[in-house]
Amino acid sequence: FTSYFQYVGVARFLSMSESALLKLSLLTGDLWAVLFSVVAEHIIPPPLFWPALAMIISGVFVYEIAPSPIVGNGDVIDEGVVELSADYT
């Protein structure tokens, strides 16, 4: 039952935005898990986790400052097809 909401939510998100943003957002979900384990359970993650998390967050930042590759406001040209702007061809 939960998978249904996940699939519907992902499909709805992808109809309005890019898949790269979805992947970057899913990668930052680890931050909330680590915050919970540090605060509630007093478990510190391995040292390599912090540089990896910094790289993920910097990827989200770089992605957000660039212009969107989708033409217009997410206008769908044909069902399931999104036209890219001339900058990305």
Res 88: pLDDT: 58
Give one word for 42, left, alpha or beta, with left for phi > 0 and alpha for psi -120 to 50. Answer: left
Rounded CA separation 26/49 (Å) = 16
Rounded CA separation 68/72 (Å) = 9
Tens-place pLDDT, residues 51-75: 988 888 888 788 778 776 665 554 5
pTM summary value: 0.54
Task: Read off the tokens for 64.
Answer: 């957000």
